[in-house]
Amino acid sequence: MIKAGIIGATGYAGAELCRLLAAHPQAKIAGLSSRSFEGKALSEVYPAFLGKIDQICQNKEDVIAASDVVFACLPHGHSEELALKTVYSGKKFIDLGADFRLADSGEYKEWYGKGFEHFELHLEAAYGLPELFREELRGKKIIANPGCYPTSVALALFPALKSGLAEAESIIIDSKSGVTGAGRELSDTTHFPNCNEAFSPYKIAAHRHTPEIEQTLSRAAGKRLKVTFVPHLLPINRGILSTCYVRLKLGTAPEKLRSLYEDFYRDEPFVRVMPEGQTANLKNVRTTNLCDISLHADRRTGTLIAVAAIDNMVKGAAGQAVQNMNLLFGLPETTGLELIPAAF
């Protein structure tokens, strides 16, 4: 059994990770840590876990000592020191925060306000989007779990850009997220009277996931590119829907693109390319590690419209982290994640 420790277990991503690991056939929760609820049982914080996950939240050092793999579910800027302790203890480290997602220290400082403090750790890290970079993850000590928006966008656009059939300079991304994407801490934006029956963009052309999106799509295109990225807040608990617009190379037939996507994701158990005429919908991926992609062609303007739907707490966070853990420990990636969405 893999002994898994979770630091930041009482945040939304941490709690979702606990839910998934508690049902994992080859892993067990070895320790939980929470700055706000140390000494309390997880089921006191989340009564849904009563009788299922009653473990007491400990300090971080005890969690690291008890674990084979440590998941960090913390805001940016808090994971490097934990990764240092974990890796030097001979354990694996999966970071659900942003500290290891960007390859360039200067870019990280520009968007997050600080540079890398332990450059040597970043040599041990890999960007954990298995469908695109699976071989790069094997044998790594640190996995940077991708952001939720970047996961949806990368899966939606990577095949078109890698094939060279799309114009890399023309990308516009319109994304919507449920309120859990903002985390558990209270804010005026996510206060019920302000977000209920409301819908608006936020951090327009200034969201911190922008450089992560550009980094992955640049790898697909084989050159550095920039995108226009506008996120929106949906008045729902969970889910991300990204509608991505990219101009196609002259003469590219939409049928060729559909065949390309179906071939690209044919052996990926968590990516479903929707049949012609169907549209990706958040309700069809809720509480699962699935990503649904629907492809639409605007023949009049020569534009591909790729729509991706994921659950931001699962494929956008905890589920992808478990998928990465499975890969690191030689298990089938679907282990503990073969969740079927509810039909209604």
CATH code of the domain containing 100 = 3.40.50.720
58 and 191 in a single domain? The answer is no
CATH code of the domain containing 197 = 3.30.360.10
Backbone angles phi, psi at 333, to 5 degrees: -60, -25
- Give the mean pLDDT of 32-39: 94
* Within-domain flag for 34: yes
What single-letter DSSP state applies at residue 309? E
* Within-domain flag for 221: yes
| pLDDT given at position 37 | 94
Cα separation, 19 vs 2, in Å, equals 16
Run of H or E including 232? strand 228-233
176 and 294 in a single domain? The answer is yes
Q: Residue 70: which residues within 8 A CB-CB, separation 6 or more? A: 4, 5, 6, 7, 63, 64, 82, 86, 91, 92, 93, 94
pLDDT, tens digit (0-9, with 9 covering 90-100), for 53-104:
999 999 999 999 999 999 999 988 789 999 999 999 999 999 999 999 999 9
Report the range of poorest mean pLDDT among 15-19, 46-50, 121-125: 121-125
The neighbour count for residue 253, using CB atoms within 10 Å, is 12
| pLDDT given at position 20 | 98
8 and 99 in a single domain? The answer is yes
| pLDDT given at position 190 | 80
* Within-domain flag for 333: no
Q: Residue 125: which residues within 8 A CB-CB, separation 6 or more? A: 100, 140, 141, 142, 143, 144
198 and 76 in a single domain? The answer is no
Name beta bridge partners: 232: 176, 201
172 and 287 in a single domain? The answer is yes
Catalytic site residue 244?
no
Nearest to 85 by CA among 105, 108, 62, 102: 62
Statement: the pTM of the whole predicted model exceeds 0.75: yes
| pLDDT given at position 100 | 97
| pLDDT given at position 186 | 66
Domain containing residue 185: 149-312
Which residues in 69-103 are b (16+ Cβ under 10 Å) and which e? Answer: bbbbbbebebbbebbbebbeeebbbbbbbbbbbbe
- Give the mean pLDDT of 121-125: 92
- Give the mean pLDDT of 114-134: 94
* Within-domain flag for 325: no
Phi/psi zone of residue 330: left (φ > 0), alpha (ψ -120 to 50 degrees), beta? left
pLDDT, tens digit (0-9, with 9 covering 90-100), for 181-201:
877 776 777 878 888 888 899
| pLDDT given at position 193 | 85
Q: Which of 18, 57, 73, 148 is catalytic?
A: 148
Q: Which two tokens stand for residue 230?
A: 């506008």
* Within-domain flag for 342: no
Cα separation, 85 vs 91, in Å, equals 9
- Give the mean pLDDT of 211-222: 97
For the chain, how many structural domains are there in total? 2
pLDDT, tens digit (0-9, with 9 covering 90-100), for 288-335:
999 999 999 999 999 999 999 999 999 999 999 999 999 999 999 999
Of all residues in the chain, the percent with pLDDT exceeding 70 is 100
What single-letter DSSP state applies at residue 77? T
